[in-house]
Structure 1
Amino acid sequence: MKVNKEYIENIFKDSIEKNIFIKAIASSPVDKKSEYTKVNLKPVRIKDEIFIQFEEFKDKKAYHENICFASAMVKISDILERFKQLLISVNGADYQILKGKQDFNLKKSENTKVLKDLDHNKKKNYLIEDGTPVPFLIKLGVMGEDGKVFKNSYDKFRQINKYLEFIDDTIRELQNKKLIGDHIKFVDFGCGKSYLTFALHYYLKDIKNFTFEIIGLDLKKDVMKKCNDIAKELKCENLEFLTGNIKDFDKLQNVDIIFSLHACNNATDYALLKGLELNAKAILAVPCCQHEFNEKMSNTKNSKFFDKEMPIGKHGILFEKYTSLATDAFRAQALELCGYKTQVMEFIDMEHTPKNILIRGIKDKINTESLKRRFNEYEKFKSFLGIEPLLDSLLSPYYLIKL
């Protein structure tokens, strides 16, 4: 059966509005050089509103975006132009679609599928479960003696579990690459009140049964004293809290993982540098307050950026967001030049800041041609921004290739 584009758009529109749309898969890009190879679509409910989740695949990585109905229909229209094959599943029917030169070939078949629960925030199976007494969470006031998480502490509880999911995933990858065994050397830079540091200790000792050395570092002497007192009270062995600056840390060498949470502005750069100095196998950083690029780019108004991206550059709030993203993109690319496979992922908002991007670098084998390409991308991006970032001078001695 031959149909036009509007007919297919109406299948999406009607099934979404009637709450019977289950999923769709778009594949076989029209342009063989397309950066995206496949797109999965499904409905999700977020705060009682239906969104369409787009899962786009690029370079064997998946990128997720939840879009409201009106905007989703615009994106669906674009997908119909960019992909040759499409499968749409709704309650009771599957639509197989092949794109032709002028129209679409559609084949409809029956199914017995039913749309499942759309609750995007349904109850998760956490590594630390609500209702199970955990000494450090009781001591830190997150839960009561019965293990029940206090209502006003549930966001903190969720943050701790999200953090442990990232740690668990990182450790699995390090083990798969045979970079670590069952002993972990871990440094937490800027650990603050150390909810996450104590969570890590609990995870390694009580969940994974690893041996370990954990050090938390922060500039606040009184906070570190309190953390040491709690660790002593809870009999947390091989956990130590030190007062000091990231740049001066030399307590451990050949560290397995370093973690830096919300180190302000260039403190994140020094955390990345320290990770390289300590020969860390994995570097995880959640940056904060990226001021440097904003200030330096503001002083180079003759750069290629302002020539090409003035609609962004002339609005302060947009420029601030752009420079923050550019900073973290630069950091991820720099780590790749140092021999790490990097991912930039959504972390989780903490109570004192909405910054929620996690940069994760894990040591990897990278071939020379790949390094050359990444170095060229790095140099072009730096030239486009028109600045010389501090990170470049800090990390350049560790670059595996220089042109």
Structure 2
Amino acid sequence: MKVEKKYVVVLVETLIKENKIVKIIVSNPVDKKNIRSKINIKPIIIKDNLNIQLEEFKENKAFHENICLDSFIIILDSLLEEYKQVFIVSLGADYQILKNKKDYNLKESKNNKSNIYLSHDNKKKYIIEEGSHVPFLIKLGVMGENGEVFKRSYDKFRQINKYLEFIDDTIEELKNKKLIDNKVKVVDFGCGKSYLTFALYHYLKNIKNMNFEIIGLDLKKDVMDKCNQIAKELQCENLEFLTGNIKDFNKLKDVDIIFSLHACDNATDYAILKGLELKAKAILAVPYCQHEFNEKMSKNKNSMFFKNDGLIGKHGILFEKYTTLATDAFRAQALELCGFKTTVMEFIDMEHTPKNILIKGIKDKISRDVLKTKYIAYKNFMDYLGIEPLLDELLKKYYLINSDNLKI
């Protein structure tokens, strides 16, 4: 039905006050130059007070702000002018609102949602607990001397703990497979400011009590110099930060774990390659921007993909999402051809970062028949996309089976 803007504002305000709103998604800017591509909105309770959290996406980065209800209603009025589409998820009903030239078209549909959880203060059990005095987190400005995590750094605190959960699972799996004992060598490619690298040091030394050697590598010399200085001040032994390119790294041999967070485009592929060169037993990668598949597939409109999935290919945003997923699916399958058992999972909740896919590979024993099936699926997928990815060229010498010794 057609409604006026005032009707939409009153509807949203009423649903919030009745504690029925689950989330609101505002999208499709009227002005294509608007750098805020999408805004996620949800009510939360902070210290017994109702707030509205706005999560804005600008250039693939998420920014959060919590405001009071009155301020939000004022902002909502302008958002309805700036965006063409609003989607409201509430208890019992969803509302899709599309902006027309003079009014709004509202469509209501029933759903089965029957409860909502608004608390922002609930304490989760983390590997590094809130309230504990952790020197590296204090030094890096994540928490204060009393162990309280700063509000501005809470997303980073959650990311650190999520990372440690994956590391914990990986180490236990490596131990169970007798690939490591109580000693581990880890390389963190593209470590940046090294929150996760210092977290790994704290975990291995103070929580697991393991023998270890950790190296962080990044292209930015000034950042690596600062990290080395922090490591010195915190008296971190067997932790070193180096400046350099992933391709040229040769400091360690027979590495147990390599980790690569948000390496851009083909840097993730080179991190995987280097992991194989270093005989890594576990490879963990969280890719970031991924352009190669998009660019190469766009140049081959005669591929089977465009013949069969042209409905995806003709929409830029859908095509981008598809090529991103295809890239990581291809990476996971390539790792399996190299003798790894792979898992693809969320690195951290989508509300905290739009780049959240973790590819986890653990060295495994795979039969020739299974490898044959995997290779056929791998080749068929590559042929379907109509491209020759760089990763295939980089890794083919590490495949345990390939077209040279397999009749397809």
What TM-score do you get using the length of structure 2 for normalisation? 0.70
Q: 1:117, CA displacement in angstroms?
A: 9.8
Q: Describe the shift of the 1:330–1:296 C-alpha distance in structure 2 as closer, same or farther (beyond 3 A).
A: same
In structure 2, C-alpha distance between the alignment counterparts of 1:317 and 1:339, rounded to whole Å: 34
1:198-230 deviation line (CA, Å, top 9, x unaligned): 000000000000010000000000000000000
- From the superposition, tell whether residues 178 and 116 of structure 1 become closer, same or farther in structure 2 (CA, over 3 Å): farther
Distance 1:316 1:358, change over 3 A: same
C-alpha distance in 1, partners of 2:279/2:332? 17
Distance 2:278 2:192 in 1: 21
For 1:150, the equivalent position in structure 2 comes to: 150
Does 2:254 align with 1:254? yes
Matches within 5 A, 1:133-212: 133-212=133-212
Structure 1 unpaired stretches of 5+? 1-45, 49-66, 73-114
Question: Is the Cα contact below 8 Å between 1:201 and 1:239 reproduced in 2?
Answer: yes
Deviations 1:345-386 (A, max 9, x none): 000269995211000000001011110000000000000000
| Deviation of the 1:151 alpha carbon | 1.3
SS in 2 for 1:187: strand
| Mapping 1:275-314, distance limit 5 Å | 275-314=275-314
CA distance in 2, matches of 1:71, 1:308: 35
Q: What is the CA–CA distance in structure 2 between the aligned matches of 1:68 and 1:208, rounded to whole Å? A: 44
Give the conservation status (yes or no) of the 8 Å contact 2:273–2:394. yes
What's 2:36 paired with?
A: none
Shift in CA distance, 353/69, structure 1 to aligned 2, threshold 3 Å: closer
CA contact (8 A) 2:220 2:243 kept: yes
Question: What secondary structure sits across from 1:217 in the alignment?
Answer: strand
Partner of 1:244: 244
Q: Is the 8 A contact 1:338 1:400 kept in 2?
A: yes
Q: Which amino acid aligns with 2:269?
A: D
CA contact (8 A) 1:133 1:146 kept: yes
How far apart, CA to CA, are the structure 2 residues paired with 1:359 and 1:136? 27
3-state secondary structure, aligned to 1:215: strand
- Residue by residue over 1:236-289, the C-alpha shift from the partner in whole angstroms, topping out at 9 and shown as x without a partner, is 000000000000000001000000001100000000000000000000000011
Residue type matched to 2:185 in 1?
K
1:273 equivalent in alignment to 2:266? no
The Cα of 1:152 is off from its aligned counterpart by 1.2
Report the counterpart of residue 338 of structure 2 in structure 1: 338
- 2:129 aligned counterpart, secondary structure: coil
- Please name the residue that 2:316 is paired with: 316
Post-superposition Cα deviations, 1:319-347, rounded to whole Å, max 9, x if no partner, equal 00000000000000000000000000000
On the 8 A contact 1:159/1:350 being kept in 2, the answer is no
Deviations 1:277-313 (A, max 9, x none): 0000000000011100000000000000000001100
Superposition map of 1:63-82 within 5 A? none
- Count residues in correspondence: 300
In structure 2, what residue type is equivalent to 1:259?
Answer: F
Q: State the distance in 1 between where 2:348 and 2:210 align.
A: 26
Q: Secondary structure at the match of 1:264?
A: coil
Provide the alpha-carbon RMSD of the alignment.
2.5
- Partner of 1:174, secondary structure, is helix
Residue 394 of structure 2: SS of its match in structure 1? Answer: helix
For 1:119 and 1:347, the matched residues in 2 are separated by: 23
Equivalent position of 2:399 in the other structure: 399
Taking the aligned partners of 1:219 and 1:350, their CA distance within structure 2 comes to 28
TM-score (norm 1): 0.71
User: 1-side partners of 2:306 and 2:262: how far apart?
Assistant: 29
Amino acid at match of 2:286: V
Paired with 2:236 and 2:177, the residues of 1 have a C-alpha distance of 29
Counterpart of 1:219? 219
Q: Which runs of 4+ in 1 moved over 3 A?
A: 67-72, 115-122, 349-353
Q: 1:156-193, CA deviations, whole angstroms, 9 ceiling, x for partnerless residues?
A: 11110000000001001000111000111000000000
Pick closer, same or farther for the CA change 1:176–1:117 going to 2, 3 Å.
farther
- For structure 2, list consecutive stretches of 5 or more residues without a partner in the other structure: 1-41, 45-88, 95-113
Query: Which letter does structure 1 place at the counterpart of 2:312?
Result: I
